[in-house]
């Protein structure tokens, strides 16, 4: 009888301790700090995660490999690509212009086909960038084009110069329509 009581006491002790072990494990998990995920530090500080595509190789660009282009920064995956771009920027201009929009250094101001005001309902994605057009006809003319044709026809130097502008800093005010125009002087 004593051995049965001993076993019963041991069994009750084991069963009674199970919820306490699990409760302690949960408390431990709640107080443990999670592992840092790459890019998490930037998000904690309120910074946007850097994302750009190298205009030479098409690989992910790094912030520390950059060159001045159109008075802004163009980013590359490595020093070799940076050197290739610096030697022949015109060869990579469409992809560099695309990157300026991807990195929010430039913004679209006009339809790349007609030069007219953009209709926000007439858009397509080109290499991850939302591009607006003035009408269905302009949108259709590039919507079915190959990826390379889209890049050239939207981000080529001549079109880019007329359809995109340097993005204003957050504190800067947009000029009024009449400011700076020749007809108002």
Give me the pLDDT at residue 44, please: 52
Residue 125 within a domain: yes
* Structural domains in the chain (count): 1
**pTM higher than 0.85, yes or no?**
no
| Alpha-carbon gap, residue 135 to 89, rounded angstroms | 32
Given a contact cutoff of 8 angstroms between Cβ atoms, the answer to whether 140 and 124 are in contact is no
Q: Is 121 inside a domain boundary?
A: yes
Backbone angle region of 107, left / alpha / beta, with phi > 0 → left and psi within -120 to 50 → alpha:
beta
Range(s) of the domain holding residue 76: 62-166
- The better pLDDT of the pair 3, 99 is held by 99
Domain assignment present for 146: yes
Residue with the bigger pLDDT between 36 and 145: it is 145
Q: Tell me if 114 is assigned to some domain.
A: yes
pLDDT in tens, 76-98: 999 999 999 999 999 999 999 99
| Residue 144, in any domain of the structure | yes
At 99-152, the pLDDT tens digits run 999 999 999 999 999 999 999 999 999 999 999 999 999 999 999 999 999 999
The answer to whether residue 33 sits within a structural domain is: no
Give a yes or no: residue 173 inside a domain: no
**Straight-line distance from the first to the last Cα atom of the chain, in angstroms, rounded to the nearest whole number:** 110
Beta bridge partners of 119: 133
Q: Among the listed ranges 62-66, 160-164, 165-169, which one has the minimum average pLDDT value?
A: 165-169
Evaluated on CA atoms 10, 16, 21, 24, the torsion sign reads negative
pLDDT of the residue at 49 = 84
What integer best gives the mean pLDDT of the chain?
A: 80
118 inside domain: yes
C-alpha torsion sign, points 173, 109, 92, 54: positive
């Amino acid at each position: 009888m004593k051995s049965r009581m001993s076993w019963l006491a041991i069994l009750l002790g084991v069963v009674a301790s199970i919820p306490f072990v699990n409760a302690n494990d949960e408390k431990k998990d709640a107080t443990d700090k999670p592992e840092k995920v790459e890019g998490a530090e930037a998000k904690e500080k309120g910074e946007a995660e850097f994302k750009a595509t190298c205009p030479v190789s098409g690989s992910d660009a790094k912030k520390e490999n950059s060159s001045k282009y159109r008075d802004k920064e163009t980013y590359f995956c490595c020093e070799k690509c940076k050197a290739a771009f610096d030697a022949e920027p015109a060869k990579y201009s469409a992809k560099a212009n695309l990157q300026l929009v991807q990195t929010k250094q430039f913004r679209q101001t006009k339809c790349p086909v007609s030069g007219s005001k953009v209709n926000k309902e007439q858009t397509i994605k080109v290499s991850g960038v939302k591009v607006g057009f003035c009408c269905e006809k302009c949108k259709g003319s590039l919507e079915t084009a190959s990826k390379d044709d889209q890049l050239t026809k939207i981000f080529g130097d001549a079109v880019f110069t007329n359809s995109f502008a340097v993005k204003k800093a957050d504190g800067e005010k947009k000029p009024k329509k009449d400011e700076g125009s020749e007809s108002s002087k």
